[in-house]
Structure 1
Amino acid sequence: MNTAHEKNTSARVHLSSDATSSLEFRRQEICEKLRENRQALALQLVGSDRHDQFPRSAAMRFISNHSTREILHKAANAALGLQTFRALRWGLGLVRFIGRGFTRK
């Protein structure tokens, strides 16, 4: 009785190792196809001259560009300047409003 069980178990192990090697081979094929597709997309998006440069993301390349940083910096300063101007104008209006309350007519 043990011999039949041992044969059945060894057949499962053999089948399992064949399935494992087949799955591993299929996984390697899929990884290779993905790598080729990524390279093809990179060539289409970036071109061959900047293929392996950092950063890979188009958005990060845009942000890390020196002229883009200057534009963003100027825009941020303008926005902060506008906010500061509005706050000062509001504060001056408040001071005038309070000052009018204390003046005699």
Structure 2
Amino acid sequence: MIQTAACLVIGDEVLNGKIVDTNSPWFAKFCFSLGLDLKRVEVIPDDEGDIVEAVRRMSGRYDIVVTSGGIGPTHDDITYPSIAKAYAISLNMKSKFLEKPNLLQV
């Protein structure tokens, strides 16, 4: 049974103040509406090592971990391969998702 949740916000632009994270407050309300206990919201840079470490740590501690940000058409968007590395699985993206990354968003 899923009881605890965490939100991992990924992006240098959040850390340097270029954009404001509005997803984690929405996710907090969503968790509350479902009766889930949101235990952590963490912001990390677009760095493979940081993403791998945070995904491993948080997924080992919380029932569900949602990521926000870190996905887009820029050179530093390494979220998908970093998450795959955290779980030691291969990444096999379908071309339609690579062409339209917003299809993967909820």
The normalised TM-score by structure 2 is 0.18
- Structure showing greater radius of gyration is 1
Higher strand share: 2
Higher helix share: 1
Looking at both structures, which has the greater relative contact order when contacts are Cα pairs under 8 Å and sequence separation is at least 6?
Answer: 2
